[in-house]
Amino acid sequence: MSLPPRAKSPAKLVSRYPDFEKVQSERAPFDEYSFTHTQTVDPAWRPGSGANDPSWRDHETVHIDPYAGDRTPLDNYKLLVSGIVPRPIGVVSTEGPDGQRNLAPFSYLQIVNHDPPIFTLGFTMGASALKDTSRHVLSTRECVINLVSEHFVEAANYTSIDAPSGVSEWTLSGLTPAPSCKVKPPRVAEAVFAVEAKLVASHDWFSPSTGEKTGVLAILSGVYFHVREDALNEDRNVVDFRVLRPVGRLGGITYLRAREGFEVLRPTFGKDGEKEKNGVEQNGAEKNGVEKNGVEQNGAEKE
């Protein structure tokens, strides 16, 4: 069932700075990498306590219909990529049936299973047509996902250039192709972690408003892994993020470094005996009391 027509997005998805070099020069320089573990936000948090900061109660929630008549697809895009963050970035390497190689970055990327290793990759339409990476994946059913690290982020970003067909992003970015083991497309030699993958299934997306095709979901199975030796532990089952130095995607053209983190133990029900139960009951009673008293008080004030 189609929806009523709505406003169209402008042609440009990203508004560029008038003088980015000037903006860049006024910012602090990129400093040496370091990672610090801190305490959790509230080390004294107990089961049933809820949020560690009550200030969320001071703000109203704005409710948005993604298909409202005055809302464009670009509005939804900007909202989603700025709200669902950080996102991992993979430079995806493909090779078409004609042998043409392509390299492009994607943040619509996620791992969704480990046995078998399954990844999802989202392709959006460009100028009402599929771009090279998506066409190659759908036709050859192969690709390599190369996770982006700090030491080649500029080159990875440059692979997003709107180069004409036949112009290699490998050459433009200066990244180095290295042989893969189970798929034809090469991997990025600079990548600390790369996954060779094969297409399992795909699904087309269509706009509920116009009926036009707007994207493709690719479900990929990882068939071979490549990890730089200094990033891999002795058991070959953990990648050291201090070596990986991953870069995440935020909204617009902003990227994120992994510089600080904290560890949170995963809870086990009943592990601490009556502690969790009592904590939940006590906090629940406190919350209910506050809410009840607040309702009664507000009601009395209104009356």
Task: Dump pLDDT digits (tens) for 182-199.
Answer: 999 999 999 999 999 999
pTM for this prediction:
0.84
CA 32, 36, 39 angle in degrees (round to 5)?
Answer: 160
Extract the tokens encoding 47.
């089961």
Report DSSP letters for 106-164, one per residue. ESSEEEEEETTEEEEEEEE-BTTB--HHHHHHHHH-EEEEEE-BGGGHHHHHHTTS-PP
pLDDT digits (tens, 9 = 90+) for 135-188: 999 999 999 999 999 999 999 999 999 988 788 999 999 999 999 999 999 999
pLDDT digits (tens, 9 = 90+) for 277-299: 555 555 555 545 444 444 444 44
